[in-house]
Amino acid sequence: AARGEAGAGPSQDLGRVDWASEFNTAGEEWAREFTEMSKGWADEFQGLDQSELLNRWVEDYNAQSQLNRQPQEYEFAPNNPYLDHVDPLAEGRELFRQGLLSEAVLALEAELQRNGDSAEAWKLLGTVHAENDDDIPAIAAMMRALKVDPQNLEVLLSLGVSYTNELAQEEALGYMRQWLENHPAYSDLVPPAPPDAPLEVPQVAELFHAAAARNPEDADVHTVL
């Protein structure tokens, strides 16, 4: 889904994300990955019966899925031409406004190599990557922004959207719930729960429907629904 940052880029919202549908169709993705993976190691497991084979595949898939969901450290591009720019942050904003996403990334990376604690620069960098449908670096950048500014609503919602695109249901639902918890207009809608309590799509969807009923004009709420 195309996403942008208000006043900073070509799009003014995070875009609509049919996240419940994406999670419901995740089984189709897993089936396709099973077919691809099974071709690679069919010979290795030829002697196993069907149930053993399925159990082994589930273990391998879950391990790989968990590995893929681990937030990655953001890696800067080498030989950045914007390292000597007098104001790479302002340049990054302007390049993003013009829709020059790859150049905007370089300018913002140059800014962050000077000022690695800039939540604004990390957030904008994550937004640029998300606008370009590069969700893995978008997540890495937004995680850095969240580390500096843990209650930033734009960052929390963007992480929810990016993890939805990556079909990482647990993480997506967690950040969407955090967005509601930290939002002054909706925090009272979220019931207390242990930090490790499991989240389900209907549960979080119900919270967002309640938020939409309270404030039908909030575009961020409708982004998720």
- The pLDDT-based confidence of 167 (bands split at 50, 70, 90) is confident
Tell me what pLDDT residue 154 has.
Answer: 96
According to DSSP, residue 152 is labeled -
Region 127-151: mean pLDDT is: 96
The answer to whether the beta carbons of residues 2 and 15 sit under 8 Å apart is: yes
Nearest to 69 by CA among 112, 111, 26, 132: 26
CB neighbours of 59 closer than 8 A, spacing ≥ 6? none
Among the ranges 10-14, 45-49, 93-97, 168-172, which has the highest mean pLDDT value?
Answer: 93-97
HSE, CB side, 13 Å, CA atoms: give it for residue 138: 30
Q: What is the pLDDT of residue 23?
A: 60
**Does the pLDDT value for residue 50 go beyond 80?**
no
The alpha helices in 42-132, defined as continuous H runs, are 50-69, 88-97, 101-114, 119-131
Q: What is the pLDDT of residues 59-115, one digit of tens each?
A: 554 545 544 556 679 999 999 999 999 999 999 999 999 999 999 999 999 999 999
Tokens describing residue 53: 């084979």
Q: Please choose, from the candidates 112, 197, 190, 102, the residue with its C-alpha nearest in 3D space to the C-alpha of residue 147.
A: 112
Cβ atoms within 10 Å, residue 96:
25
The answer to whether the CB of 190 falls within 8 A of the CB of 180 is yes
Confidence of residue 57 (pLDDT cuts 50, 70, 90): low
Decide: 167 and 23 in contact? Cβ < 8 Å: yes
Domains of the chain: 71-149 (1.25.40.10), 171-224 (no CATH)
For the ranges 25-39, 53-67, 114-128, 159-173, the maximum mean pLDDT occurs at 114-128
- At 48, the pLDDT band (50, 70, 90 cuts) reads low
Would you give the distance in Å from CA 31 to the centre of its chain?
23
Q: What is the pLDDT of residues 182-210, one digit of tens each?
A: 999 999 999 988 777 888 889 999 999 99
CB of 212 closer than 8 Å to CB of 218? yes
- Write the secondary structure of 155-193 as one string of H (helix), E (strand) and C (coil): HHHHHHHHHHHCCCHHHHHHHHHHHHHHCCCCHHHCCCC
* pTM, 2 dp: 0.71
DSSP summary character for residue 12: S
